[in-house]
Amino acid sequence: MPAMAGEAFDTTYFRTGKTFGEYFNNDGKLRIQVEEIRGLEKALESYKVVSDDELSMCTSFLRSMLRLQPSDRASAADLLEHEWL
């Protein structure tokens, strides 16, 4: 999720979770190795789900919904006004 959103979790946000220590070390890094994580734009580009002309606008639209903090996410009204639509 952080790679797709283009932002990182605030460690104070998830340190409060009951299972934090099972998945993260004290530095907030994942305990397991993960394969290379692509960003949202690269994923959209590789799957050819939108045209090259629309790629940047589509990425912007999706990122405005994929914010890690719910309070930072765009509202439905804001999304309806997005340039991609």
Could you count the other beta carbons within 10 Å of the beta carbon of residue 71?
A: 5
Instruction: Tell me the backbone φ, ψ of residue 24, rounded to 5 degrees.
Output: -125, 150
CA distances from residue 29 to 17, 41, 42, 45 in whole angstroms, order as listed? 15, 24, 23, 28
If one compares 78 and 40, the residue with the highest pLDDT of the two is 78
pLDDT tier for residue 77 given thresholds of 50, 70 and 90: very high
Quote the pLDDT of residue 64: 94
pTM exceeds cut of 0.75: no
Q: What is the pLDDT of residues 27-70, one digit of tens each?
A: 877 888 777 667 888 889 988 989 999 999 999 999 999 988 88
pLDDT for res 84:
96
